[in-house]
Amino acid sequence: MQQSLPPFSGTGVALITPFRADKSIDYPALGRIIDYVIDGGVDYLVCLGTTGEAITLSTQECREVLDFTLRHVDERVPVVAGFFGGNYTERLATFIREYNFDGVAGIMSSSPAYSKPPQEGIYQHYMRIAEVAPRPLIIYNVPGRTSSNVLPETVLRLAEESDRFAAVKEASGILSQATEILRHRPERFGVLCGEDPLATAMIAVGGHGGISVIANALPSHFSRMVTAALNNNLTEARRLNFDMLDVHPLLYCEGNPVGIKAAVSLLGLCDNHLRVPLVPLSGAMQEKLRLVLDQVPDLQP
């Protein structure tokens, strides 16, 4: 395995938040999913990111989901809080400063959405968050949702300016961008893949793991793939990547977490309910997903 891996290396899973038919949070199902992914070998959990539908939960519900997750995990793996993004920098800084992060290993913060700030604005935003954050920060670059790309020079500037930045979740889908960060990063700073199909490739050029959607359904496959790649066993990593390859498009064809919630429900771990404006995967696509999951070798729900 690569020497001196940074924090949050390996496999993180961006947990879904299961709902009941009345759209209340299904805590028994959440507990089953947590146990399933930990038993599947993931290294840490990211609670209430995009995949966790945090934007459709109230502040109180987010607090309750995070508290439940910390209690249920019971220190078996680290837990990262993933719902600390925003485009009003001072309000976000106040929220973080006043929040209770007891038991939380890290904070993932997406770059400001909708306002499309320039790189200097993104830099100042993150530096303000770093001033108040009591835990290591994972910069989350996801241009497909924020409509702005945190460029390598900005990521590197942040990493060099403050030790509070522990990693970047790089979800631009541009492998050369991740490679540029890897080429110049401080040794303590991790580069994590945020696009599951690219995880093996990103590790092959020096990356440190990924924060995964598909690992909700296939934690063992994804974790073993990441471990193999980190151990430079690319033959095994490719094999596992190929086993999952046909599943990936069906997880995103009608949006995330629509697809992954359908997959986890097909495994019997939760019911397939979302909060509007998200709606369950259409019947035709769900049948395709069922058939593809049936073809994944050694899948043990």
Q: What is the pLDDT of residue 271?
A: 97
Radius of gyration of the chain (CA): 18
Q: What is the pLDDT of residue 299?
A: 80
Q: What is the pLDDT of residue 103?
A: 98
Three-state SS at 121: helix
Q: What is the pLDDT of residue 4?
A: 79
The position carrying tokens 């990103």 is 202
Q: What is the pLDDT of residue 219?
A: 98
Rounded-to-integer distance, Cα 263 and Cα 254, Å: 13
The number of C-alpha atoms within 13 Å of 69 and in the hemisphere containing its C-beta is 35
Catalytic residue among 169, 252, 261, 288: 169
Looking at the chain, list the stretches that DSSP marks H as alpha helix, in order from N- to C-terminal side. Answer: 27-39, 59-73, 89-98, 119-132, 143-146, 152-161, 175-184, 199-204, 219-230, 234-244, 248-252, 258-266, 283-294
Rounded-to-integer distance, Cα 208 and Cα 224, Å: 14
Low-confidence ranges of the chain (pLDDT < 70): 1-3, 300-301
Q: Is 261 a catalytic residue?
A: no
Contacts of 250 (CB under 8 A, 6+ apart): 259, 263, 285, 288, 289, 292
Is 211 annotated among the ligand-binding residues? yes
Partners of 44 in beta bridges: 12
Catalytic residue among 99, 123, 140, 261: 140
Q: Is 44 a catalytic residue?
A: no
Q: Per the structure block, which two tokens stand in for 50?
A: 């995009």
Q: Which domains does the chain have, with CATH numbers?
A: 10-245 (3.20.20.70)
* DSSP 8-state secondary structure symbol assigned to residue 113: P
Is 51 annotated among the ligand-binding residues? yes
Q: What is the pLDDT of residue 195?
A: 97
pTM for this entry: 0.96
Largest interatomic CA distance in the chain = 50
